[in-house]
Each structure stands twice: as C-alpha cells, then as structure tokens.
Chains A and B, each alone.
Chain A
Amino acid sequence: MKRKLISLFIIAAILIPLGVVQGAETIKIGALYTMTGRGGQYGKDSEVAIKIALDEVNAKGLPGGAKLDVIITDDKNPQYAVSVAKRYITDEKCKFLFGIISTAIGLAVTEVSKEYKIVFVGTDHAGTDLTANKFQKYYFRSANNTFQSMMAGAYYLKDDVKGWKKIAYIGPDYAYGRDQWMELKWGLDKLGVKYEVVGEYWPKLYEPDYTSYITAIMKAAPDILVNGMWGGDTVAFIKQAKPYGLFSKMKYFHVDAGGNYEALAALGADMPAGLIMSARHHNNWPETAANKTYVQKFYKAAGRYPSYAAEGAYVGVHMIAEAIRKVGNANDSDALVKAMEGMKIQCPEDPQGFTSYIDPKTHQIVQIQAIGTTVKNDKFPPAKYMLGNFKTYPAEKLWPNFEYIEYMTKIKGK
C-alpha cells in the first residue's frame, strides 16, 4: 500500500506540472512555402527566419501564456496549396495562414482565407493584385508589393538618371514580369517622364539561355534596360550579358528583385559595378542596430546570410503576435483584422526614425524603398558586390495609390 501511494505521488508529481503546460494554448500558424527547386532557397530562408521570430515572440510572451507555433508545408502548386490551406484550417485548427512565394499560389490561397474567414499573412509574393483589385479583408502582406518597388523606380529614373530617352524591358512572361513593366510605365507617365519604348522581351520563367535576347537588346540599343527577373534568372542573365559588354552600353535597372542577396552571392566577382538595383530587404542597409542584429541572428542560425524572403516571414510572425496581444486571443478573426489595420511594426529594413505600418484600407505594409547601385563590398561573403549609393523614397509617396488600384482593377478585373 505504501509503495502504491509513493508511486501515485510520483506519477502525480510528473503529471501536475505537465497539466499546467498543456493548459497553455498553442496557437498554430499554417505556412506554405516553396521548399524545392528554384524557389526552395526562399522557403528555407523563411523557415529559418520564422524560427528566430518564434523564439523572440514566445520569449516575450503572449496572453494566457499561449505559444505560437508554425507548421510549414511545400506549396507545390495552387491546387495543392489550396488543399493544404483547407486542411490547416479544418484538421490542424490553425488560426492563421502564412507565407507563400508565388503570387499565383497567393491568389489561390487568399480565396481560402476569404471563404473560411481566417487571417492570411502573405510574406513574400509581391503581385500587387492581392492588396489591390483582389483585396479581401482577411489578407495582409508583410513585404512590399511590386508597385511600391516600381513606383520608387519611376522616381529614380526621373530624378537620378539624366539624359535618357529610350527604354527597353525584359522580364519573365507571367503576371510578376508583366505587372512590373505596366507599373513602371504607369509611374513614369504619372511623373510626366517622356520616353520611347524600343523593345519588350518576354522569356519564359527559368529560361536557361538568354544569349539571343541579349543580342536583340543590343541591336535595339536602349539607354535604359529594365529587368524584371528574380533569383537564378537574374544570375543567368547577368552572367550571359557581361561578355557581350551590355552593361557598358546601357544603364541596367532592376529594382524589385535585382539586388536580392542570393543573386549577389551567386554572381560573386562576376557582378558588374554600377547596376541600378534594389530588393525587398538589404543585408547592408539600413545600417541600424535592428537590421544588423537580425542579419547576424540569421547568420548564426543558418551559417549564411539571408535572402530578402526571410525578412517578410520574420516580420509576419511579429505582426501576428502583436495582433494576438492586442486582441487577447487568436479566436476572433474580425478582431484580429481590426488589430492589424494601421498596426505599426518595426522591421529590420526600417531606417532610423521610420516605422513600417499596415495600410488600413489595403492591408499592405507601407515601407521606405531604397534603390542603390552595385559596389565592391566583401563584408557579406560569398558576395563580392553589394548595393551602395542608396537613394530612398518616402513610404507614403509609394502606397497606397488608389488611382493605380482603380487603373489595375479596370485592366485586370476584380
């Protein structure tokens, strides 16, 4: 009998504290990222950043001792992503949908979010549609859209590049590539810039060989070549164009994703100097303590420097945590939406004196854009060139732009 009592006491001693822990709610976020193929690096980097953000958020604490947790699945394609998103909501009881690299998949998943009234925080896909003509109130985005990049680009071309008239564009033949060009031209028109389009080239996404495009562009001889590629396509284009002397014959302008760190790293010493580029996050700008800490934390966790995609995921987790803190729980989506609208959120990419915020009408994060040129800098190996000579463009001049949203809605429909 005595032994039985002792055993019961020991079991109770083990179970009681567990019961306390189990009583604390785990709030699940259902994330979808591209984890394989070309976009796989963005998914992997986002995963690292999510873990960093989760550690920070859970250490700071959530109401009722709740913990945040993120489940990540490879998104593969829109149909598959939709089925996973639905499973996240119905089976896994996730309170948030999260992530996604591709705009096509983002557009599919936003419909699930709308149908189930579950908050969806898009962390990477940049298609303007999601916070414009395809806006639905449960969708939020923690990284800038292509319009913000291209509008900043239009200002750069107007104010910081002198004596140009002829412009040509090359970009992948799908919505992301097409939209950037439409947005830049719209921005230039609005700013009253006079220009002549001397060529438009639409290679397929992941085109391995740009040789014939390069010779055709050189024949067209623009003053400015605008490139709308991302990731490996940027790397391949620059590698192939360099021996043709393309970069000495025209100004190269690539401001949504040209300055992505992974492209700078892959090109190493092959990156030409003086290319006009930007990205949604820079490892070397702004030189604030917050950005340096974020980059170093990532490096410590992954053994490499982050691509731009990681910051959107990092910020997204913090946005969700802040909303839960404001509401007190994660069970009321409408209250969470209200909490996120207008939310101020300090991002690693915010320069001194500025805090990013969520535009309450479009749910798009509003941020300062910085455009630079490639300069020698080996502080972030294996990159040998980073962006420097940054020009910044005020956040409120770039978004929201309801005139453009109206224009886009007219062209692309709701």
Chain B
Amino acid sequence: MDINTFLAQFISGLSTAMLLFLISSGLTLIFGVVNVLNFAHGSFYLLGTYFAYQIMQLFDNFWIGLLAGAVGAGIVGMIIEVLFLRRIYGRAQEGAFQLLMTFAFILILDDMVKFIWGTEYKTISKPASLVGSFNLGTVMVPVYNVFIIVVGFLVVIFAWYFLTKTDTGKTVRASSLDRIMLGLLGTNVPMIMTVVFGVATAMGGLAGVLAAPLRTVTPGAGVEVIIDSMIVVVIGGFGNFWGALLGAIIIGEVLSFGILWVPELATVLTFIVMIVVLIVKPEGLLAKKAVGRK
C-alpha cells in the first residue's frame, strides 16, 4: 500500500473515530459516574441536532446552533435525571429498571421529535469557514473532517485536565468509586449525578450537531448511532473515558482499512473486533478487573 492510500484511509478512519468518540464519551461517562447504562443516549444526539436546527432557523449561524444543541440536550438530560432516573437509583433490580426506562425514552424522545419537527429530512449546513478541502500531498482532506478531529482531541484534553487536575474533577471521579463515602464527607452527590448526566447528554447533543452537516437529520438517527457507541464502550471498558477514546480509534481505523482490503466484511468488522476483545479481555481494554462501585 502506498503512503497516500495509507494516509487517506488513516485520516478518514480518524474522522469516523472522533465522531464515535464524541458520542460514546458521554455514554461511558454516565455509566462510569452515574452508573446508568443510558440506552437513550442516541436520543440526546438526535435532540441536539433538532435544537440546533430550530435555532439556526432564527439565527442562521452554525456556532449558535452548536451551542444551543449541546445546552438544550444537556438541560433535557438533567430534567430526565432529576424527575425519572433518580427515582430508581439503588432499587433492587435497578439494572432492569434502567433498561426499561431509558428504552422508553428512546421511543418518547423520537416520537416527540417527529411530532414537533415532522418526518421530513432537515438540513444543517457547515459554516462557510469549514467548507471545502485541502491537499495533503496527493490526498484530498475535507476541512470539516479535520475540524471534527480537532474538536475530538480538544474534548480529550479538556476532559483529562478537568478529571485529573481540578478538585471538582477529582470529586466526580470519587463519586464513581464510592458514592456513600463521598456523601458522608459532605458532598452533594445527587447534584454531581445530575450535573454529570447533563454534561454527558450535552456531549451527545454536541456530537449530533457536529455530525449533522455530514449526515441526515431525521427521526430515528439517534437509534442508529447507539449500537456502534455501545461497541466502542464495550471495547474500551464500560465507564472508562480513555477506553472510549481507544475503542473509537480502533473501530474507526479497523473499519477504514477493512473497507479498503475486505469490503465484503465491512458490516461485521466492528463485531469481530468486539468479540476478540471480549474473549481476550472481557472487561474491556482499559477497565480494571475489580470495580469497587457501590
């Protein structure tokens, strides 16, 4: 394989990976800290897109739409956490309740989108500054794809700084290890849960808006991204933020080079990777074996 082909596939794989990461990072954050497997995470991706679409009808500005999409999805996320999810924490069979409740929200939010905005496809355009492509040697690279890669890495850097260097970040990490002890030390744990849920769903919304200029804005789009995001989280390790990054990069690049070499297997490649990881390291690549969560 010549260097140009390698570069083209690598960059396209990275662009796929970063969108996957932006969606699955919120999913894994919610699992890691709030201990909820949020099947409805894709619905926040969808909500973010539609909030952005609505705001852009008024202001015709991508950046305001991006902000509105992320904030709107985050606010709806917090409302759902406070009014619904909080009521099932700590219950016997909490897992089953989580599954039922978050699945119900997939249906509710999807239908809500359909009732408000209709079933026809909507369009969100790229900002003018990010239209077009440039040449990297003989490889053509779209500016918008590079923008997504940059945003992905910025989120990684910000998350690393926040979780490891700030007191609030350390409190968030502590809450993922032992909520009861943290509560006994005087921390408002329910508030942390709500805020983390809000931030994570806002990241889902952000991913939705970033993806919109490249994809189709339509009801049902949220459901379509959740399976790949789940696979990323399984590969990286449930609840592990860095695992989501690693999982997304592995899936993005395996898919990209797999499509080049064995296109017939494209639809099963992600599942093959997941099966291999589950056999070799069932808890996920970056997860610790014993998780002392309470």
Contact = CB atoms under 8 A, between A and B. Distances in A.
Contacts of A268: 123
Interface stretch (A33-41, A113-121, A360-368): A33-41
Interface stretch (B58-66, B69-77, B85-93, B252-260): B252-260
A200 B260 CA distance: 10
Given A236-B215, A244-B140, A211 B260 contact: no
A201 B211 contact: no
A304 interface: yes
22 contacts: A37-B218, A40-B114, A44-B118, A204-B267, A206-B220, A208-B211, A209-B19, A211-B12, A211-B15, A211-B145, A212-B13, A212-B256, A213-B266, A215-B256, A216-B259, A218-B8, A219-B5, A219-B8, A219-B260, A239-B214, A243-B131, A244-B133
When A and B form their complex, which 3 residue pairs have the shortest distance between CB atoms, in order from nearest? A37-B220, A232-B216, A243-B142
Given A44-B119, A208-B225, A38 B132 contact: no
Interface of A: 36-38, 40-41, 43-44, 173, 199-204, 206, 208-209, 211-216, 218-219, 231-233, 235-236, 239-240, 243-245, 262-263, 265-268, 270, 304, 382
A225 to B, nearest CB: 14
A239 to B, nearest CB: 5
Given A206-B224, A212-B9, 13 more contacts: A36-B110, A36-B111, A37-B219, A40-B119, A41-B120, A44-B118, A204-B267, A212-B259, A215-B260, A236-B214, A243-B140, A270-B125, A382-B123
B221 interface: yes
Nearest to A218: B8
A209 B9 CA distance: 13
A332 B122 CA distance: 45
B204 to A, nearest CB: 14
Given A212-B13, A239-B215, A38 B220 contact: yes
B266 A201 contact: yes
A203 B267 contact: yes
Contact of B142 (A199, A236, A244): A244
A40 B219 contact: yes
Contacts of B267: 173, 202-204
A235 B121 contact: yes
A37 B223 contact: yes
B6 to A, nearest CB: 11
Q: Max chain A CB contacts within 10 Å: which of B218, B225, B266?
A: B218
Contacts of A206: 220, 224
Contacts of A244: 133, 140, 142
A215 B219 CA distance: 28
A212 B120 contact: no
B282 interface: no
Contacts of B133: 243-245
A200 B218 CA distance: 27
B214 A209 contact: yes
Contacts of B111: 36
B167 interface: no
Contacts of B5: 219
Interface of B: 5, 8-9, 12-13, 15-16, 19, 110-111, 114, 118-123, 125, 131-133, 140, 142-145, 211, 213-221, 223-225, 255-256, 259-260, 263-264, 266-267
B216 A235 contact: yes
Nearest to B270: A204
A243 B144 CA distance: 9
B9 A215 contact: yes
Contacts of B260: 212, 215-216, 219
Nearest to A44: B119
B132 A243 contact: yes
Contact of B12 (A41, A200, A214, A266): A214
A102 to B, nearest CB: 14
B224 A208 contact: yes
Contacts of A263: 121
B220 to A, nearest CB: 3
B121 A265 contact: yes
Contact of B264 (A202, A219, A304): A202
A265 B142 CA distance: 23
A198 B281 CA distance: 38
Q: Max chain B CB contacts within 10 Å: which of A206, A214, A216, A382?
A: A216
A212 B119 CA distance: 28
Contacts of A267: 123
Nearest to A241: B142
B218 A304 contact: no
A237 to B, nearest CB: 10
Contacts of A209: 15-16, 19, 214-215
Contacts of B8: 215, 218-219
Given A211-B15, A235-B216, A245 B119 contact: no
Nearest to B148: A211
Contacts of B219: 36-38, 40
Contact of A38 (B9, B122, B218, B256): B218
B145 A41 contact: no
Nearest to B134: A243
A230 B109 CA distance: 25
B266 A202 contact: yes
Nearest to B263: A201
A37 B119 CA distance: 8
Given A218-B8, A266-B123, A212 B255 contact: yes
B143 A200 contact: no
A367 B185 CA distance: 76
Contacts of A211: 12-13, 15-16, 145, 256
A372 to B, nearest CB: 21
